[in-house]
């Protein structure tokens, strides 16, 4: 059994919250509570993870909470938030070294200002570097595997590992980080020299596409389902006649059927019930089993 006082001694009592409402920390703006919500500094995360491991305690690492839904019943373990204390960025030549808590939009803006191209695709993804590495995030033809040079991670034994791109086993929404339960601490991004005005133009064009095609005005976790091989999840859902389908406060977006949105007051149960309904309907009509891209916790 974990001792809260020990955790407070490791990361500071001001960085320990109990019974934390996770709707405040996820882009779905829905869900239950976490027994513990921890915000460590970079210098003490290793000791924290080792302590939790030693107690065989459940824990889950989050960044911006942009791909996460916590069940209404809550999460009995500890949520470790890698946030703004891990967001430091630096540039050397055409490489950017960024902390796991750095938002992708911040890294993209920095790259643009410094005339470095190749990261434009990530400028509108509402997540942090750590989450983007973990799931090999991508958009508009680009993905993290194309720009990552190496990543610094914490393994389950508290060791710091430096993994090169070809050691990360990066695939569609997948990486070795996910398989091994590593904690991303930092990443080195390799870009190319470009013109800031041209880079900004591309970022603006992608932002316009997002606003036109995605329901950014509502809380969501982005694309709710992974892309099935040979298909597009949004088109399957639309063709199944599910645009606008609602359960409670959750709705299949009429603007983009690949998004389940919180139309107002949605519970995690509403969202999960709608996701299940969509999965079953699409499977029954087309024989294609949709797989959630959203991580369900609890």
> Torsion over CA of 269, 80, 219 and 123, rounded to 10 degrees?
-140
Answer yes or no: are the C-beta atoms of 190 and 226 closer than 8 Å.
no
17 is catalytic: no
Catalytic residue among 120, 173, 175, 279: 173
Q: How far apart are CA 156 and CA 133, in angstroms?
A: 17
- Find the radius of gyration of the CA atoms of the chain: 19
Q: How far apart are CA 262 and CA 270, in angstroms?
A: 9
Answer yes or no: are the C-beta atoms of 120 and 108 closer than 8 Å.
yes
Answer yes or no: are the C-beta atoms of 14 and 44 closer than 8 Å.
no
Helix, strand, coil shares, percent, the chain, to 5: 35, 30, 40
173 is catalytic: yes
Catalytic residue among 20, 223, 253, 279: 223
**116 conformational bin, left if phi > 0, alpha if psi -120 to 50, beta if neither:** beta
SS3 for 156?
coil
Tokens 């942009």 sit at which residue?
Answer: 66
Catalytic residue among 47, 114, 254, 293: 293
Q: How far apart are CA 197 and CA 221, in angstroms?
A: 30
Burial class (CB in 10 A: 0-12, 13-18, 19+), 13: exposed
211 is catalytic: no
Strand ranges in 41-93 using DSSP code E only, listed in sequence order: 59-62, 68-70, 75-81, 89-92
Positions marked active-site: 173, 223, 293
């Amino acid at each position: 059994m974990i001792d809260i006082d020990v955790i407070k001694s490791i990361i500071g009592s001001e960085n320990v919250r109990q019974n934390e409402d996770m709707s405040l920390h996820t882009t779905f703006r829905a869900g239950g509570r976490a027994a513990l919500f921890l915000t460590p500094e970079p210098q003490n995360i290793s000791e924290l993870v080792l302590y939790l491991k030693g107690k065989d305690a459940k824990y889950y690492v989050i960044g911006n909470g942009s791909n996460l839904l916590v069940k209404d019943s809550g999460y009995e373990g500890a949520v470790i938030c890698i946030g703004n204390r891990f967001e430091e960025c630096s540039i050397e030549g055409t490489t950017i070294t960024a902390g796991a808590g750095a938002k992708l939009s911040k890294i993209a803006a920095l790259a643009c200002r410094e005339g470095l191209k190749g990261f434009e695709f990530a400028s509108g993804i509402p997540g942090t570097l750590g989450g983007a590495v973990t799931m090999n995030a991508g958009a508009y033809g680009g993905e993290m595997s194309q720009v990552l040079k190496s990543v610094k991670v914490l393994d389950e034994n508290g060791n710091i590992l430096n993994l090169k791109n070809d050691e990360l086993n990066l695939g569609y929404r997948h990486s070795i980080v996910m398989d091994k339960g590593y904690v991303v601490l930092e990443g080195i991004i390799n870009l190319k020299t470009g013109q800031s005005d041209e880079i900004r133009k591309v970022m603006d064009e992608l932002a316009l596409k997002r606003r036109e095609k995605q329901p950014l005005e509502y809380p969501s976790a982005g694309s709710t389902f992974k892309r099935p091989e040979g298909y597009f999840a949004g088109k399957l859902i639309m063709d199944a006649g599910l645009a606008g389908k609602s359960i409670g406060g959750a709705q299949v977006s009429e603007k983009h059927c690949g998004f389940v949105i919180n139309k107002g007051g949605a519970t995690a149960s509403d969202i999960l019930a709608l996701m299940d309904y969509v999965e079953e309907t699409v499977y029954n009509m087309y024989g294609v089993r949709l797989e959630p891209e959203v991580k369900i916790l609890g």
